[in-house]
Structure 1
Amino acid sequence: MTDNRTAMKTHLRRIYTLLLLAFTTLSLGAYASPISYFKEDGRTNWQYIANFSSGVLIILLSCTAISLFFSSRKTKKANRQLNDIRAVLEQRVQERTVNLAEASKQLLASETYIKNILSSMPSMLIGLDSQMHITQWNHCAEETTGISADKVLGKNLWAAYPAVTLSQQQIEEVITEQKPATLKHNQRGQYYFDITIYPLKDHTEAGVVILIDNVTLRSIAENKLIQRDKMSSMGELAASMAHDIDTPLQAIFRDLKSIQQTIHSNDPEIAATLDDAVTRANQASQIIRNLLDFAHSNDRKKRPESLTELIDHTLELAGNAFSDPSGLHFKDINIIKDYQDELPAIPCYKTELQQVFLSLFRHACHAIASSNKDDSPTIKIQLLTCYDSLWLKIQHNGLGLTAKEQHEIFEPFYHDRINPKSTEAENRLSFSQFIIVEHHQGHIFVTSDVDVGTTFHIEFQLPKK
């Protein structure tokens, strides 16, 4: 600031000196007589003319210098102001640039965070716009469907993934009503899905978000708890009924034995009637003992058991207990056994498997009695190992199952097409399927032909050595 003032004073002194010199020159020229401009010989006196012209020129230059000086001073002041403004603007631009960079970084971080959330979700998440075009397809949707997001984004949902169980009408209803909708889709024993459709709100364009939750494990766990409660209740009911029935039954059985021993009738019809009554009472007693064994089997530890011995024992119980209203007794059926030598024992719940085999033998007895074939009633039982599994096949030559019946036989409350008014106990195999699959981690399925017969295939995993 001090240097600027010093320079300004120097310029002013120079201009003042020039002006003083100019005025002096002009003054001298002014006081000179016009004759002084000419010499005595009549020639022009250029000295005076030069002095006068120099004075005028100096004055003009001085005025120009003064004008330039003030113009320069004004220009420098304007430049300083512009530089100050420029510095302020540059600082603001830098601050805005830093703020924008920070905002962009935060936006990118938020976008990445949201993408990570969507990718980490254990549920399928599908976004649709009002035209039913896919706008979102998360990682779980890719894994479940086997279709990558880049192949479906922007495409119609049903064109990109025809296997989806939703209809376009359901989506349109959610968009119109602006209310979420919840649906369930399941294949009993295989998978369970909860489907929720959310409408997009506070958005410029209408659309929905579809959330598909795989609740298979939860549903299976809930079903297990329900089945265990049923098993517990069934055991208590079986024990109570068995005790209530066994008391009068044993009294009837003793009375029949006593009558049979004391009466010696020559009438063969009476003797046959008594023998049949004793046989029936013995069958009922066997059923009661089986119910009691089932009710008292509350030990939930699996124990190694020989399936050959278990099946043989079950056949003995079935022979004493099963008969069909048509007059066919289970003991009259030809049993063919094909057991592989030295079969390994498998860990199992003995009484539960016995109930499964009894149900299958009961079904076979009923199917054979319902058949009009002249073939000898036969049940073939085959046991063999294959790799790391033990396979049991129970085959009969009775009336076979249709394709629809094969699909439904393991469903609860399956109806018999021949005798719809029957108790259907011989056809209810849903509980047997539950015991094999859920309690023993095995598999059971059926193959059948209406004119040939039916085969039940059961697989048990062998324990690892």
Structure 2
Amino acid sequence: MAKNQSIKKTLLRSAYSSLVLLLVVLSLSSAYASPISYFKEDGRTNWQYIANFSSGVLIILLSCTAISLFFSSRKTKKANRALREIREALEQRVQERTATLAESNQRLLDEVEKHKKTSERLLASETYIKNILASMPSMLVGLNSHMQITQWNVCAEEITGISADKVLGKDLWDAYPAVTLSRQQIEEVINEQKPATIKHNQRGQYYFDITIYPLKDHSEAGVVILIDNVTQRSIAENKLIQRDKMSSMGELAASMAHDIDTPLQAIFKDLQSIQKAINPSDPALAADLNDAIDKANQASQIIRNLLEFAHSNDRKKRPENLTELIDHTLELAGNAFSDPSGLHFKDIVIEREYQADLPAIPCYKTELQQVFLSLFRHACHALASSDRNDTPTIKIKLLTCYDSLWLKIQHNGLGLTGKEQHEIFEPFFHDRINPKSTEAENRLSFSQFIIVEHHQGHIFVTSDVDVGTTFHIEFQLPQK
């Protein structure tokens, strides 16, 4: 289209030039004659001359046109050649650009595919981690450096009763005030970048191992708190330990009884022989011998009780009548317990108040006997420590209430302070500064363990320093 327009413009320019040339010729001819006279001869029109003139002019015009067309054609070819070169260059650039775009598009598609696969792997990993956290039997809590909750798994929801959407982003102590950790403990872990383990328990109810892990290689400091409920494991371990203790105690009691009984029986026979050989007219000597024989009989009774304790140490619960068990334990205590101040357990007034027709309860007989002995020994020392003039008295009550059997052992000796009531069920340890407050008879941790862990009961104490102390023990009655 552009080429045709260029040719038309060239032809118009040629025709215009020829016309101008003709006008120039005619104007030159007018210098000698008028145009009309130029084509006449003898007063007549010279057609031949006109024809020749017109042919000449036409030839001139055609020659000029041909020349113009020749130069125009050359110019057009040159322009077309330049256009072809430009087009080829443009096509080359388009091809190169297209190839570059195709390569870029391919790289983009590859990156998109990689990103897609990476996203899928991240999603799968996130889902996998969420499933792990949800399936964990331990309570897991994540905290950032501001003590705000970032993780709260399903176990944490079940234990606390609080859903994750209500605690995420909140301060731990605002969201769950019952937590036993302190800010200082968590801050120490963050600052030191070392894990810390804390054991928390409520004796007889639950045991928890709390581990605090610091986050490492993270843009923001924080911790992960893992709380394991090890109640069943701890109970099983404690049972094994106590079983070993009871077995060892039985072996020790049997060994001691046999070792003591042999020389004691020899002493007893010697005393009887001396009693027969002495002069009956000496009443003082006879009284001393009778007293020695009575003491030997008491020692023999203690040995028989030790042997009975050792031989009855089995691991099967059997129904027992608590009234008979308590009376038998009182007999043992009367033969065994005395205080350095001179108070003997057999000198203490025992008041019994047993409900009629009490049901038997399944129990470990020797273990309960050990608990009762510990309580009576504690009462004996408390009564000996009292400076009141009241008659030393122990009151024992047995009664049923709903689906429980209650045992109350009360004495009017020196009562327990608030601190002593708090520590009495804690394990015994030796305190050089104040040894009296940590004497074995003032600690009943093993007794509490037997009642709570082995018999699923409860034991607690109420006391007043000026009035006395009462131990309360609850046993669950068997379901009918």
Q: TM-score range by the shorter chain?
A: 0.7 to 0.9
- Give the match for residue 282 of structure 1: 297
Residue identity opposite 1:233 in structure 2: S
- Per-residue deviation, residues 360-383 of structure 1 (Å, max 9, x unmatched): 222223323333334443322222
- Give the match for residue 196 of structure 1: 211
Trace 1:198-217 onto structure 2 (pairs within 5 A).
198-217=213-232
Which of 308, 314, 318 lines up with 2:333 in the alignment? 318
Q: Does the Cα contact within 8 Å between 2:425 and 2:445 map onto a contact in 1?
A: yes
* 2:288 alignment partner, SS class: helix
Establish whether residue 343 from structure 1 lines up as the match of residue 343 from structure 2. no
- Per-residue deviation, residues 33-89 of structure 1 (Å, max 9, x unmatched): 979xx9969xx99x99999999999x89x9699799969998888778777776666
Residue identity opposite 1:353 in structure 2: L
Q: Provide the aligned length of Structure 1 versus Structure 2.
A: 440
- Per-residue deviation, residues 328-353 of structure 1 (Å, max 9, x unmatched): 44334333332233222222222222
2-structure distance, mates of 1:50, 1:268: 187
Kindly state the Cα deviation for residue 165 of structure 1 after the two structures are TM-superposed.
Answer: 4.6
1-structure distance, mates of 2:182, 2:437: 40
- Per-residue deviation, residues 375-420 of structure 1 (Å, max 9, x unmatched): 4433222222233322222222222222222222223327899x95
Kindly state the Cα deviation for residue 305 of structure 1 after the two structures are TM-superposed.
Answer: 1.7
- Per-residue deviation, residues 141-191 of structure 1 (Å, max 9, x unmatched): 444445544444444545555555545454444444444344444455554
Which of 358, 369, 375 lines up with 2:384 in the alignment? 369
Kindly state the Cα deviation for residue 321 of structure 1 after the two structures are TM-superposed.
Answer: 3.5
Task: Give the direction of change, closer, same or farther, for the CA distance of 1:421–1:246 in structure 2 (3 Å limit).
Answer: farther
2-structure distance, mates of 1:379, 1:366: 12
Q: Does the Cα contact within 8 Å between 1:246 and 1:285 map onto a contact in 2?
A: yes
Establish whether residue 390 from structure 1 lines up as the match of residue 405 from structure 2. yes
1-structure distance, mates of 2:362, 2:415: 32
Trace 1:132-147 onto structure 2 (pairs within 5 A).
132-147=147-162
Establish whether residue 250 from structure 1 lines up as the match of residue 265 from structure 2. yes
Task: Give the direction of change, closer, same or farther, for the CA distance of 1:366–1:273 in structure 2 (3 Å limit).
Answer: farther
Q: Compare 162-171 and 341-350 and name the one that shifted more.
A: 162-171
- Give the match for residue 400 of structure 1: 415
- Give the match for residue 29 of structure 2: none
Q: Compare 382-391 and 93-102 and name the one that shifted more.
A: 93-102
- Give the match for residue 380 of structure 1: 395
Which of 132, 136, 152 lines up with 1:117 in the alignment? 132
Q: Does the Cα contact within 8 Å between 2:423 and 2:443 map onto a contact in 1?
A: no
Q: Compare 237-246 and 331-340 and name the one that shifted more.
A: 331-340
What are the ranges of 5 or more consecutive residues in structure 2 without an aligned counterpart? 27-46
* 1:353 alignment partner, SS class: helix
Kindly state the Cα deviation for residue 246 of structure 1 after the two structures are TM-superposed.
Answer: 1.0
Task: Give the direction of change, closer, same or farther, for the CA distance of 1:185–1:310 in structure 2 (3 Å limit).
Answer: closer
Q: Does the Cα contact within 8 Å between 2:196 and 2:213 map onto a contact in 1?
A: yes
Kindly state the Cα deviation for residue 288 of structure 1 after the two structures are TM-superposed.
Answer: 0.9
Q: Does the Cα contact within 8 Å between 2:251 and 2:310 map onto a contact in 1?
A: yes
Task: Give the direction of change, closer, same or farther, for the CA distance of 1:50–1:308 in structure 2 (3 Å limit).
Answer: farther
Trace 1:382-461 onto structure 2 (pairs within 5 A).
382-413=397-428, 420=435, 424=439, 426-461=441-476
Q: Compare 356-365 and 70-79 and name the one that shifted more.
A: 70-79
Establish whether residue 294 from structure 1 lines up as the match of residue 314 from structure 2. no
- Give the match for residue 30 of structure 2: none
Q: Does the Cα contact within 8 Å between 2:430 and 2:438 map onto a contact in 1?
A: no
- Give the match for residue 240 of structure 2: 225
Q: Does the Cα contact within 8 Å between 1:200 and 1:208 map onto a contact in 2?
A: yes
Task: Give the direction of change, closer, same or farther, for the CA distance of 1:53–1:453 in structure 2 (3 Å limit).
Answer: farther
2-structure distance, mates of 1:452, 1:421: 20
Trace 1:94-109 onto structure 2 (pairs within 5 A).
94-109=109-124
Q: Does the Cα contact within 8 Å between 2:250 and 2:310 map onto a contact in 1?
A: yes
* 1:405 alignment partner, SS class: helix
- Per-residue deviation, residues 80-112 of structure 1 (Å, max 9, x unmatched): 877777666666555544443332222122112
1-structure distance, mates of 2:64, 2:461: 133
Task: Give the direction of change, closer, same or farther, for the CA distance of 1:457–1:177 in structure 2 (3 Å limit).
Answer: closer
Q: Compare 385-394 and 136-145 and name the one that shifted more.
A: 136-145
2-structure distance, mates of 1:158, 1:398: 45
2-structure distance, mates of 1:53, 1:462: 138
Kindly state the Cα deviation for residue 217 of structure 1 after the two structures are TM-superposed.
Answer: 3.2
- Per-residue deviation, residues 202-222 of structure 1 (Å, max 9, x unmatched): 233333333333334333333
Q: Does the Cα contact within 8 Å between 1:126 and 1:138 map onto a contact in 2?
A: yes
- Give the match for residue 6 of structure 1: none
- Give the match for residue 256 of structure 2: 241
- Normalised to the residue count of structure 1, the TM-score between the two structures is 0.75
Kindly state the Cα deviation for residue 283 of structure 1 after the two structures are TM-superposed.
Answer: 1.8
* 1:445 alignment partner, SS class: strand
* 2:142 alignment partner, SS class: strand
2-structure distance, mates of 1:421, 1:129: 48
Residue identity opposite 1:235 in structure 2: G
- Per-residue deviation, residues 1-33 of structure 1 (Å, max 9, x unmatched): xxxxxxxxxx9xxx99xx9xx99xx99xx9xx9
Which of 310, 315, 320 lines up with 1:305 in the alignment? 320
What are the ranges of 5 or more consecutive residues in structure 1 without an aligned counterpart? 1-10
Q: Compare 267-276 and 365-374 and name the one that shifted more.
A: 267-276
Residue identity opposite 1:406 in structure 2: Q
Kindly state the Cα deviation for residue 458 of structure 1 after the two structures are TM-superposed.
Answer: 1.6
Residue identity opposite 1:313 in structure 2: H
Residue identity opposite 1:311 in structure 2: I
* 1:441 alignment partner, SS class: coil
